[in-house]
A and B are shown apart, each in its own frame.
Chain A
Amino acid sequence: MSDLDFATFQALVRLYADYAAAVDSGDWDLWPEFFVDDCTYRLVPRENHERNLPLATLAFESKAMLKDRVYGIRETLFHDPYYQRHVVGPPLVIGCAPGRIESESNYAVFRTKLDGATTVFNVGRTIDVVVDTPAGWKFKSRTLVYDSEMIPNSIIYPL
């Protein structure tokens, strides 16, 4: 772990902050750009994760699938509109190698509907592999294991 220099750690913190800002912005096209082409993104209830059950609430295996999700959000998925707000803890670095970091973070997402109070929407931790690319640090894989197993109706926007 000592070989993670400060500049790299700062880049990792920045990636997490930029990601949170992007997925809360409403500009969904920003979201896939945080990933390499050959990426995985999984949103998994903690129950399945801890019992080694393979089902995810969402399981994408490429940046192309993330783009399909963006299209779905924008064009096909009817939903009651809402704001979402991520609060993300500092990265917990699990391991690193040149050009590659394994890290985790705690997160809470709040949902605010247009006529309602703000409520806790989804809480959990991310398990990430990030890699250095010519375009900067990107997620190779991002797994969100959520404690909030009883989803308040539906999840539409990217977490």
Chain B
Amino acid sequence: MDRSTIDTVFPALPVWEGEGTSRVPFAAYTSEELHRRELERFFYRRHWCYVGLEIEIAKPGDFKRTVVGERSVILTRALDGTIHVVENVCAHRGMSFCRARSGNRKDFTCPYHQWNYSLKGDLQGVPFRRGVKQDGKVHGGMPADFDPSTNGLNKLKVATRGGVVFASFDHDVEPLEQFLGPAIVPWFDRLFDGRALKLLGYNRQRIPGNWKLMQENIKDPYHPGLLHTWFVTFGLWRADNRSRLVMDERFRHAAMISTRGSSAAGSDAKQVTQVASFKQDMKLEDPRFLDIVAEPWWHGPTAVMTTIFPSVILQQQVNSVSTRHIQPDGHGAFDFVWTHFGFADDSDEMTQRRLRQANLFGPAGFVSADDGEVIELSQQGFEQKPFHRTLAELGGTDVADTEHMVTETLIRGMYRYWREVMEA
């Protein structure tokens, strides 16, 4: 119910009802000013952000342009094999000089005045630094005390784990392992245990909604069995599947862990979905979409969705594995970049299986296209009445790990952390 006395439709700041986080103010999603504060506090300070996989820059000289928050950065492998992340802004006049999305080169040159940088971001060359000789005189040139070593590209701190690369503008950020926390590290390592990966490709989509909604979507085990009819019918995600929700101690990251086909005997799908849209009689014309083969590294769970706050989601849905990179663009939109991969020792059949199951995911996927749609329409609801709030009270109002998925506790947890950081 809307509050009966509304001071203003467009409050300057989000107003929370009490200390809890089960009712998220719409105004948390609708302000450009608040969004910039989120960029500073979550993306640019004290957090590790995902930038890519090591296989994307397999060889010395390889680079990939990506972002941390809304800042363009370049992930590189230097000629000595080391991995670096530098900001894509020339030290001279600030031009965002790297335009290629990926490639291989020995160095970077800003086209504007040909300032040249190593793959590590060190300034190597400045045209006319010593001036130009003419009629026995030297004209111009940089000041004698100009020091190239302090005028390189902005270098980010880099951490890798299991073939995944993270970066931070904040050189005082805690170690990556500590950032992930002991509850999340095992789930991260289960997927990225150091095996060589094989890059399968990308999907990109621009979703006109606030970036936090994507984190919430993957912290919300309430919706998959209801919005995604596909999931339920084939038992990929059912409310009565054996499942667990775990969070790091600050509640920012989470893993949703579920095991297909582990529903109690005799429970029927209609009962656990309680929706009229459920298609009991749905049968695939071509069952190869769900040609699922268990892999030893699963150790049981058939789906583990890990949200690493603020920038990435790690997906294992049966044989389909991917990273999903959240790239904000203002308070009302983000780009969502899917990187699908497999493992270097996959058979051709397994690669084919992963590619086939990828039809379920991404911007056109049977069970993912509608996530983008509901996020867009949620944002529309928020924008029209920012004084209002959501209601995330399934399973109560507290924040705790659970042994089931009939709860919105992970969303409440994320906002407990959000309030801690944003209200500090």
Contact = CB atoms under 8 A, between A and B. Distances in A.
Interface stretch (B123-131, B294-302, B360-368, B405-413): B360-368
Contacts of A18: none
Interface stretch (B6-14, B19-27, B152-160, B195-203): B195-203
Interface stretch (A8-16, A19-27, A71-79, A131-139): A71-79
Interface in A29-64: 43, 45, 47-48, 51, 53-62, 64
A77 B201 CA distance: 24
Contacts of B358: 55-56, 59
Interface string A96-109: 00000000000000
Interface residues of B, number: 41
Q: Which of B101, B102, B358, B377 has the most CB of A within 10 A?
A: B358
Contacts of B207: 153
Given A68-B286, A78-B370, A154 B202 contact: no
Contacts of A93: none
Q: Please report whether the interface of chain B is mostly helix, strand, loop or mixed according to DSSP.
A: mixed
A156 B364 CA distance: 6
A61 B287 CA distance: 11
B206 interface: yes
B328 interface: no
Contact of B206 (A54, A57, A64, A150): A150
A93 B289 CA distance: 33
30 contacts: A43-B364, A45-B201, A45-B202, A53-B201, A54-B201, A54-B355, A55-B201, A55-B202, A55-B203, A55-B340, A56-B358, A59-B355, A59-B356, A61-B286, A65-B285, A65-B286, A65-B359, A67-B285, A67-B286, A75-B229, A76-B366, A77-B366, A80-B376, A150-B204, A151-B363, A153-B373, A154-B205, A154-B370, A155-B364, A155-B369
A80 B376 CA distance: 9
Contacts of A71: 282, 285
Nearest to A75: B279
B227 interface: yes
A152 interface: yes
B164 interface: no
B350 interface: no
A149 interface: yes
Nearest to B278: A76
Nearest to A58: B364
A79 B61 CA distance: 43
A153 B355 contact: no
A140 B370 CA distance: 30
Interface of A: 43, 45, 47-48, 51, 53-62, 64-65, 67-69, 71-72, 75-80, 149-156
B46 interface: no
Given A64-B286, A154-B363, 15 more contacts: A48-B201, A55-B200, A55-B201, A56-B201, A65-B286, A68-B286, A68-B289, A75-B282, A76-B279, A77-B366, A79-B373, A149-B202, A150-B204, A153-B373, A154-B373
A56 B363 CA distance: 11
B254 to A, nearest CB: 24
A76 B229 contact: yes
Contacts of B359: 58-60, 65
Contacts of A45: 201-204
Nearest to B363: A151
B199 A151 contact: no
B201 A62 contact: no
B284 interface: yes
A156 B369 contact: yes
A72 B366 contact: yes
Given A57-B363, A65-B289, A151 B356 contact: no
B373 A54 contact: no
Contact of B202 (A47, A152, A153): A47
B228 interface: yes
Interface in B189-223: 199-208
A153 B368 CA distance: 11
A151 B373 contact: no
A79 B365 CA distance: 12
Contact of A64 (B205, B208, B282, B285): B285
Contacts of B377: 80
